[in-house]
Amino acid sequence: MTVKYSHLFSEGKIGNLRLRNRIVMPPMGTNFANADGSVSQTLIDYYTERARGGVGLIIVEIVCVDSPVGKAITNQLCLDDDKYIGGFADLAESVHLEGAKIFVQLHHAGRQTTPDITGGIQPVCPSATHEGFLNVTPRELSNEEIEDLVQKFVSAAVRAKMAGIDGVELHGAHGYLIGQFMSPHINKRTDKWGGSTERRMRFPLEIIRGIREKLGPNFPICFRFNADDFVEDGIDIEEAKKIARILEDAGVDVLNVSVGIYEAMPTLLEPFHFEEGWRVYTAEAIKKVVNIPVITVGVIRDPVLADSIIAEGKADFVAIGRGLIADPEWPKKAYEGRDEEIRKCISCNTCIGLKVFSGQRMRCSVNPRVGYEWKYPYLPCACEKKKVVVIGGGPAGAYAAITAASRGHEVVLFEKENKIGGQLNISCLPPGKEKISWFTEWLEGELKRQNVILRLGECATPEKISALRPDIVILATGAEPIVPNIPGIERAYLSWDVLKGKVNVPSGEEVVVIGGGLVGCETAHYLLDKGCKVTIVEMLDDIALDMEPIGRFDLLNTFVSKGVKMLTKSLVTAITPETIQIVDAYKRVREVPAKHVVLAVGQKPAGCDLVKALCDMGIPVITVGDARAVGKIVDAVLFGFDAGVKV
């Protein structure tokens, strides 16, 4: 068999450890660990599936060396006690059986955590430097505590080897404790642990030295560090080159090059608009000054790009992070040349930003099996072949159809528009949201691969459905905009119509967007990008509260920098020919200039009448997606998938 991406799938080597290819799964928090920090079966199943999908090396997510003060997420893995060794041994064994190698990332949050996560303990740091993203002021570590933490990292590495783990990664990136010692932005100490680059490197070098003394020269050590903190007076690319040479001299086997700290969060966990492979230049710069292997990471979605990075010598390994959450078989499909079947990550950050950082377990908008690998180890063939009619080709309906057809059912899908996607075709229109169209393209391709009968541009009526004699109907008719009863509302445009280009709002004119949720803010961003002067009016205390926090942080910075007016705690009471009238929290009435008014106050389920008609005809109906309850892509896909499994 000719391998399409020969560079990506050539053998890799870290120290004396051989890897089957150059694809690395980087560490990403899941909250799948048990509450006590031990390895759960959910976690084992999650990583085993990625190993089975063909990845060369898995670096297991942040593993705490000092719980609870060192934790960054609620259910974080721990390796600060011998009681955890058995669980890691089970995990290593399961991954090894699938042909992959496994490292664990040793981690301490330092100041980048909160007392809610640490059990009320004040976070610690080399210096009592305030952390702006989480709004936390840490306590400065004493010399004795620093020495103790060095030993805790070393002891955790020893336990990892005892468990059969192939190597460890020290987390010196993203502004966590090791990185806090390294960064002049955070470390303000004047003793032996701070000052020059060499003194700021003392803490990680003591850890590396301790691991080498305990485990010898052949146990692989990976070091993850920032090539750029993207904050004022932080580590920059020139200092990062110096750090890389220091780490190589200290005996590190591989460098995992990353960027960003919490105070520059969008660079750390990129939202939609970041270009593919935008960080690769940093790894390329580091690779030029060292002789050990270098791993690059950051919005690498396409195997063509991944292979070219290796071929052009920009890095030795490519880390596919959120891409492997979205599709565990990314490596296998790329190896077999089935690129069009790869279900690409769309950078929505539901996985970590919306879920893990909120104390919930990881989920994925485009892959409903994430966290449910134990429940759906495979899709069972249907015991009895049924005729399934799906109404609606949005993410819920399309996923339900794909899943049901993959199990052997005959599936007919009605979609009133001439293309698949539903609201995905609107969601991809605001600035930077183009990646959402990747999911639509995958759904279209998968429907064809599963031989779903598509009836596009056709409304489903009770008569048409009845004529097909279905065994069951999956109703996924989506949602429709809410139009409030406000005097003058007829002058307002629907946000969907603005985004689809049905309504033209000229550049430079004043626009008021009524509704500051996700849809309203994305419409405002679209209008802002066109050059309009935008005001957002929202009833709640703040805007974009239903967005994932990283994307929200990024969007609000854009709004502030570009002069968007945000009127919160305000109720629109009337729309006049040139203004809108609002009442604020203090019952004050005022008028706001509004040449154009756009409405984005929410949605409600559609298709209720059709459900009743079908039920009256005795046809069983499962309602999914927004037709069931208005939600996000992740909700639509999960319930659509579940319906397809159950029919």
Q: Show Cβ contacts of residue 73 under 8 Å, excluding neighbours closer than 6 positions.
A: 29, 31, 62, 117, 356, 357, 359
Residue-wise burial string across 311-344, b where 16 or more C-beta atoms lie within 10 A, e elsewhere: eeebbbbbbbbbbbbbbbbbbbbbbeeeeebbbb
Structure tokens at 418: 């001439």
pLDDT for 410 equals 97
Q: Show Cβ contacts of residue 385 under 8 Å, excluding neighbours closer than 6 positions.
A: 408, 409, 410
| Residue that has been written with the tokens 């049901």 in this structure | 404
pLDDT for 377 equals 79
Torsion angles phi and psi, residue 364, rounded to 5: -140, 135
The answer to whether the Cα torsion of 425, 427, 432, 437 is positive or negative is: negative
Find, among 353, 277, 344, 298, the residue nearest to 551 by Cα: 353
- Write the DSSP symbol of residue 85: H
| Residue/partner pairs of 205-213 with CB below 8 Å, 24 or more apart | 205/246, 205/250, 206/150, 207/150, 207/153, 207/154, 207/170, 207/178, 208/170, 208/247, 208/250, 208/251, 208/252, 209/250, 210/150, 210/151, 210/153, 210/154, 211/153, 211/154, 211/157, 211/168, 212/251
- Write the DSSP symbol of residue 131: B
pLDDT in tens, 207-264: 999 999 999 999 999 999 999 999 999 999 999 999 999 999 999 999 999 999 999 9
Ramachandran class of 161: left when φ > 0, alpha when ψ lies in -120 to 50, beta otherwise = alpha
Residue 68: cis peptide before it, omega within 30 degrees of 0:
yes
3-state secondary structure 476-511: CCCEEECCCCCCCHHHCEEHHHHHCCCCCCCCCCEE
Torsion angles phi and psi, residue 131, rounded to 5: -100, 120
63 beta partners: 77, 106
C-alpha to C-alpha distances, 507 to 83, 129, 528, nearest whole angstrom: 64, 44, 9
Write down how long the chain is.
Answer: 647
pLDDT for 381 equals 83
Find, among 309, 156, 318, the residue nearest to 221 by Cα: 156
pLDDT for 522 equals 95
Active-site pick, 46, 47, 176, 372: 176
DSSP codes, 153-195 = HHHHHHHHHHTT--EEEEEE-TTSHHHHHH-TTT----STTSS
pLDDT < 50 regions, the chain: none
C-alpha to C-alpha distances, 584 to 239, 442, 487, 543, 570, nearest whole angstrom: 51, 45, 18, 15, 4
Give the C-alpha separation, 527 to 429, whole Å.
Answer: 11
C-alpha to C-alpha distances, 199 to 203, 234, 568, nearest whole angstrom: 8, 15, 48
Helix (H, G, I), strand (E, B) or coil at 575: strand
pLDDT for 1 equals 67
Torsion angles phi and psi, residue 21, rounded to 5: -160, -175
Torsion angles phi and psi, residue 523, rounded to 5: -65, -40
- Can 586 be counted among the known catalytic residues? no
pTM over 0.85: yes
